[in-house]
Structure 1
């Protein structure tokens, strides 16, 4: 391959400014631009000596076909879906130019990349896909993702994977980073960037550590799908510059992707939050070793008014400007609409578009926005509307890594078709510009260099209709080289014992802290709750914390999961209970948790029922790491909770060091500022999770007040099968999981014989077995209406054979039944109008229909029986639990059984909580 040096820069170019109907050539494209700008000298082509920077540094760009699968009948267009990063759009090419001038030589460095795959059908074989350009700080190499040509007649899982390639300027070589074919094909690798120490951070479906943990959990090893079960999940990975030492850093159940190495050395990336419902793609930040992972921006900022239209936006593929600001190219919701809108986002002072951080000093969150159009000296108004735009359309923008205020941009100049001639919009009158019937010309995206400092534009690379330049960069040294952040050290930042156990810790200062407000103020505040002489344990609102693990969804070839496996609602997919721990009187918790798995937390009352909504973000921690959390937040809160530099001060200021907590036991003497959970961990070690709701009073001073009674709601007290995995907690490991499946663990509660027996005579006084009353037949096998219109039998449901009748009766609306002449039938009642009058049947002409006796026939309807349990949680199922405590049902189910029901309903009341329960 020839070197790219030795040619002179672009000389003077002049053009005749007159109306032309033109084809897609470079001179005519430039002409179109001059017409758009009105030949204003401030925005004209640069007409001076070549800039030495532009002469010296190569420009790299990707050009692709807009039609990926040519066909006379049904051609396929390139489409870019944010939730399907690995989508294959064949027809891309990678070019390197000597510099940023139009007539400098250009080389297609991927033209012969897969020459060994050439067959007679050359055109088809060479249609590859290319994406994700990223240059090193010294400008001497860049990374790019390439997917080899499609293999004809091969299944999807047999197609080539996306691989990361490296181009080195010194010898103009393009080589795959991972040399081994076997290793390279173990997942799709995308979006790579260099760390300051030379290692490479990237997004991948490899899920190396997640797959290994599945084996340790006793599951098959597989590559998990995202929570919509559409595509394999991308997580952030790290590797050495030779492709070795691959490590998985993040463990979200949906995509973590587009890692950006910031100037301060931290990693800003995009995360798809799809837990329990689509919460959009938001911006997160972490250290290069995966520690200190936190939400940065965007949770409540996906709906915005842009150009007087309500638009849904996603925070995908962040870039950083030389001045440190974050640049994003907002995309159209139409995946085949390629134009972008460049905006800057102030993530330093904002956590949402109109929500400042607690430390920013912003007091008015309604007048200032974090998201603003990129400020340019030109009057560009880029948007992603379908209407004519005099500014043209933008599909890519790359800031040069210096302080020159220059950008490489892929720009489609505004052009329309007038009387079968392509005309530049600058040629049109104001009246013509308002003509909504004008047809836009086919896109002609070309590469330009925009100098915002002196108001000039320079054409860099021309293109042709039917193609689009989607990415570009300059191989130029950065004026802001990235800072180096070393990996956290075991024994310093990381706890060595936790690290050895492959565990981490979560410390919550107070679950009563809701965005800096004390939610326990009605009970006197945490100062009263934390005083055992003033508040007995039975009066504490929050008693236990539950940790839940999201179950990764296998691909269909591993296990084809039917929708019925999830039960009434698919939103929560499948969940495993990781365990429980008591909440201390001040609302604090410090607990050991498994590392490197997606976790969620729930606050529980004394019955084990969740207080408040479900957690909506997955938490994952590196081995040895401790997550410090101020408290909780409401589901709709836009206040800055969960981001370390954004939160308000905690309501729990902690202990006054050197003495016991007020009126508490002197067995635990805290250090200044410690929460009760921290002090307990210091004296007794970090608490381990339990399968039981177990409480023992460690805080009451018996000389001042009476000890609180212990409690233990345990699976060991059940006479029905305990949930799978509960025995693991007798000797806790980070792989302990509790699985609850309806047929295996809940149905036995309804079938369990519950006989009331006279202690003296042993006579059976009553049979309180649930299915005796809640059945469609009585003891004599005669038809009966089930008690409470609720049938709890274990027979397959006539509505859904994959579910037992009892499950459908509990979670789905039904119709009221009655027994008539020994037959159970649906009860019918007369329909009444708004005034309470009977509605009668009428014929097509509106005349009353009469029965044999000449009387009008009333319209009859069934009576709805609403479901008694809700998948929204145990507290949302109060009808059921109130019934279990009424005079008829009291004590028929034990407290341990009710705890099992509550925890199962709170995690989503799934029919199965393992993908492999019903494996054939």
Structure 2
């Protein structure tokens, strides 16, 4: 035991620690977060409305040691020399001599990372700058991992269309000794990364908000401490609630955490046990995120998306003890939006929770604060230092390598419909893969665009379409650090499957998966030798600047073609609402109720492909788009309280999947190698009425649907042609 720790425990101990609530534990370190405002009211959810938010500042809290850990134990404030303190995350060093924490004070507008000895001495600020650094943890190799909203370039952090520009977080690391002088940023995601935790194999686990089209949830991920090999840990194959947050590892492959709604529960929820070990895995530590098993330990606590009142309270920040019990923060009552409406904050105190009896024993509760982040002050094992795959200062011009050993291999039990497929099993359909489309995600960091149209999909650019070789392999060199998702394409250029998960890679990193969500308990080997044909040929070079990536603006782009050009040149001669329009006079009525309770009614043409402006209500706001965009996208965009009556059309465009889009079926598409090989039987349109549509034009419309039916692109922003790869990436 260190001198500082021993001195603290001797000075503060008020009795025999074996008689305390936590036998054998002499002290706990924890956080007090203020919720009572200067005016005496309650700050219930300000800045923390969603379970992965972090911008809540209410001064008056601090970092404390409680010794012994009993309701009447002695408190030592480690941050008493600072004014206006709020603590946003904390961890204890492996030898239990130091605490790392995120703190904002009255003298700063931002949270930064500090370290201190457990007796309060040696407080040292490690990070600085005009951004927030929160939720720090110690990692092997004398480093600290944390969450930051530092923009990777002056243009700002990426932000999904559902989020807020400039505030999305990514992970970063610093060294304990050098702090910001050895600061390393990880690859980007479009939505928050949050709640890092250390795993026994030396990796960093974390929660990640996944927003991609209709997908909008929080999963668990893991990465190496050098930011490489970001992979799924749990949540891709189902989970007992929308969001998995605040996890800690109990044993290799087994975890304790919180499952809850994404918003409305004041960042609290039900306790859940996660077993992510693959059945039959070597030593039980092979991770199988697709088949992770969950056991909700507090089943009385609701986990539904509507964030219903609990009535039995909700939990935060479980921390495992050696005897199978857990330190938790718990508040009684509803712990949901009712608290906000009543302007009364829930009261989180620290408890010992026994999973066998489901009994809580009070450790400490100050009703004037939220007491949370409790950790026993005692040494713990140091996981191994994992070998780095990239250097401390990667060459930003060096591309990342993405690829698959055999894209036709899958462990998913899915069916594919549309075109040549009629309920075909996914593994059989993937045998027809000819290319893999690599799609870069971007969003509102490009400027005033907050949403990308009548779709939940983000901004999208095709970086390239990599050739799939005879052995099912492919490889591509792409710009590093960016978020991508992949689509396996058939010979018609349509996606067979749309991967609904963002993947990233650092500059110089090589990431090869086995197949298309292959079985994690097996191993995918090259079909035709020790290496794949793609590896032998080398990666296709898609390390292109922004102006050289394929984007599909609908209308009004400052540069390049618009999708409306295709309709103007080939379609509006018939589909203009005039006498020769086969759909003239056909309308449907959409009735919707706004958040303010106002009833709105819109009359929308069955199909009209002109650029005539039409007004519609979508995502809590009224928008105006060209008639072509509204009539093609609105049938799939209606949501919430919207009700359509009258002559309702088919789903002309299915955002994210061209092959089930009625528009693409009517137009049809021929094979890239055989002009007479068509995806659907029965001919093509508009050739049947004497108008020729080129294959390239058909492909643009297919790509529009496969990418998500976005209206806006970066080409709608003035000066987009001047953006270079490094200026923005």
- Please, what TM-score do these two structures have when normalized by structure 1? 0.59
Separation of aligned partners in 1, 2:546 and 2:276: 35
Equivalent of 1:235, from 164, 170, 188? 170
Equivalent of 1:372, from 277, 295, 311? 295
For residue 485 of structure 2, what is the aligned residue in structure 1? Answer: 600
Between structure 1 and structure 2, the one with the greater Rg is: 1
Q: Per-residue deviation at 1:340? A: 5.2
Q: 1:396 to 1:258 in 2, by over 3 A?
A: closer
Given that 2:131 and 2:150 are in contact with CA atoms closer than 8 Å, whether structure 1 keeps it comes out as yes
Separation of aligned partners in 1, 2:357 and 2:630: 70
Q: Per-residue deviation at 1:899? A: 1.9
Separation of aligned partners in 2, 1:50 and 1:347: 29
For residue 110 of structure 2, what is the aligned residue in structure 1? Answer: 161
Separation of aligned partners in 2, 1:647 and 1:603: 23
Separation of aligned partners in 1, 2:317 and 2:710: 44
Separation of aligned partners in 2, 1:327 and 1:77: 26
Q: Per-residue deviation at 1:337? A: 6.0
Q: Per-residue deviation at 1:65? A: 4.0
For residue 442 of structure 2, what is the aligned residue in structure 1? Answer: 551
For residue 513 of structure 1, what is the aligned residue in structure 2? Answer: 409
Tell me the number of residue pairs that the alignment of Structure 1 and Structure 2 aligns: 627
For residue 86 of structure 1, what is the aligned residue in structure 2? Answer: 55
Q: Deviations over 1:33-67 (max 9, x none)?
A: xxxxxxxxxxxx9659997x644xx5322223454
Q: Per-residue deviation at 1:288? A: 0.9
Equivalent of 1:137, from 94, 104, 118? 94
Q: Per-residue deviation at 1:230? A: 3.6
Equivalent of 1:687, from 522, 540, 550? 540
- SS of the equivalent of 2:496 reads coil
Q: 1:647 to 1:186 in 2, by over 3 A?
A: farther
Structure 2: tracts of 5 or more residues without a match:
303-307, 334-343, 422-426, 556-560, 585-606, 617-621, 637-644, 669-682, 721-729
Separation of aligned partners in 2, 1:457 and 1:609: 55
Separation of aligned partners in 2, 1:49 and 1:908: 55
Structure 1: tracts of 5 or more residues without a match:
13-44, 115-125, 152-158, 179-183, 213-220, 304-311, 350-355, 375-379, 415-440, 524-528, 531-538, 634-639, 656-671, 690-728, 753-768, 777-782, 815-860
For residue 515 of structure 2, what is the aligned residue in structure 1? Answer: 631
Equivalent of 2:506, from 597, 618, 622? 622
For residue 786 of structure 1, what is the aligned residue in structure 2? Answer: 581
For residue 473 of structure 1, what is the aligned residue in structure 2? Answer: 375
Separation of aligned partners in 2, 1:89 and 1:277: 34
For residue 223 of structure 2, what is the aligned residue in structure 1? Answer: 286
For residue 76 of structure 2, what is the aligned residue in structure 1? Answer: 107
Give runs of aligned pairs for residues 422-571 of structure 1, distance below 5 A.
446-447=349-350, 461=364, 463=366, 465-478=367-380, 480-488=381-389, 501-515=397-411, 541-554=432-445, 559-561=447-449, 563=451, 566-569=452-455, 571=456
1:188 partnered with 2:132 = yes
Separation of aligned partners in 2, 1:466 and 1:383: 24
Q: Per-residue deviation at 1:145? A: 1.5
Given that 1:594 and 1:735 are in contact with CA atoms closer than 8 Å, whether structure 2 keeps it comes out as no
For residue 151 of structure 2, what is the aligned residue in structure 1? Answer: 207
Given that 2:193 and 2:206 are in contact with CA atoms closer than 8 Å, whether structure 1 keeps it comes out as yes
Given that 1:594 and 1:734 are in contact with CA atoms closer than 8 Å, whether structure 2 keeps it comes out as no
Q: 1:249 to 1:784 in 2, by over 3 A?
A: same
Separation of aligned partners in 1, 2:655 and 2:311: 48
Q: Deviations over 1:336-372 (max 9, x none)?
A: 56765444322223xxxxxx5777899xx9xx98333
Given that 2:20 and 2:68 are in contact with CA atoms closer than 8 Å, whether structure 1 keeps it comes out as no
1:173 partnered with 2:122 = yes
- SS of the equivalent of 2:375 reads strand
Given that 2:461 and 2:549 are in contact with CA atoms closer than 8 Å, whether structure 1 keeps it comes out as yes
Give runs of aligned pairs for residues 9-24 of structure 1, distance below 5 A.
9-11=13-15
Separation of aligned partners in 1, 2:511 and 2:99: 35
Separation of aligned partners in 2, 1:397 and 1:262: 15
Q: Deviations over 1:843-877 (max 9, x none)?
A: xxxxxxxxxxxxxxxxxx96455564443443223
Q: Deviations over 1:590-620 (max 9, x none)?
A: 22222211111112223322223x2200111
- SS of the equivalent of 1:888 reads helix
Given that 1:512 and 1:518 are in contact with CA atoms closer than 8 Å, whether structure 2 keeps it comes out as no
- SS of the equivalent of 2:531 reads coil
For residue 418 of structure 1, what is the aligned residue in structure 2? Answer: none
Q: Per-residue deviation at 1:294? A: 1.0
Separation of aligned partners in 1, 2:73 and 2:18: 16
1:222 partnered with 2:156 = yes
- SS of the equivalent of 1:206 reads coil
Equivalent of 2:629, from 807, 831, 837? 807
Q: 1:339 to 1:298 in 2, by over 3 A?
A: closer
Separation of aligned partners in 2, 1:175 and 1:801: 50
Separation of aligned partners in 1, 2:718 and 2:217: 32
Q: 1:894 to 1:450 in 2, by over 3 A?
A: closer
Q: Per-residue deviation at 1:175? A: 3.1
Structure 1 window deviating more from structure 2 (896-905 vs 90-99): it is: 90-99
Give runs of aligned pairs for residues 627-706 of structure 1, distance below 5 A.
627-633=511-517, 641=519, 646-650=520-524, 653-655=526-528, 672-679=529-536, 681=537, 685-689=538-542
- SS of the equivalent of 1:173 reads coil
Given that 2:12 and 2:67 are in contact with CA atoms closer than 8 Å, whether structure 1 keeps it comes out as no
1:246 partnered with 2:171 = no
1:898 partnered with 2:667 = no
For residue 671 of structure 2, what is the aligned residue in structure 1? Answer: none
Q: Per-residue deviation at 1:275? A: 1.2
Q: 1:340 to 1:177 in 2, by over 3 A?
A: same
Equivalent of 2:205, from 258, 265, 268? 268
Given that 1:869 and 1:880 are in contact with CA atoms closer than 8 Å, whether structure 2 keeps it comes out as no
Given that 2:199 and 2:252 are in contact with CA atoms closer than 8 Å, whether structure 1 keeps it comes out as no
Q: 1:916 to 1:886 in 2, by over 3 A?
A: closer
Separation of aligned partners in 2, 1:346 and 1:205: 31
For residue 748 of structure 1, what is the aligned residue in structure 2? Answer: 565
Q: Per-residue deviation at 1:270? A: 1.1
For residue 558 of structure 2, what is the aligned residue in structure 1? Answer: none
- SS of the equivalent of 1:807 reads helix
For residue 4 of structure 1, what is the aligned residue in structure 2? Answer: 8
Q: Per-residue deviation at 1:578? A: 0.4
Q: Per-residue deviation at 1:202? A: 0.7
Separation of aligned partners in 1, 2:358 and 2:700: 69
1:77 partnered with 2:44 = yes
Separation of aligned partners in 2, 1:517 and 1:863: 36
Give runs of aligned pairs for residues 866-881 of structure 1, distance below 5 A.
866=650, 868-875=652-659, 876=661, 877-881=663-667
Separation of aligned partners in 1, 2:610 and 2:19: 86
Given that 1:62 and 1:94 are in contact with CA atoms closer than 8 Å, whether structure 2 keeps it comes out as yes
Structure 1 window deviating more from structure 2 (193-202 vs 335-344): it is: 335-344
Q: Per-residue deviation at 1:200? A: 1.2
Q: 1:504 to 1:301 in 2, by over 3 A?
A: same
Separation of aligned partners in 2, 1:550 and 1:102: 50
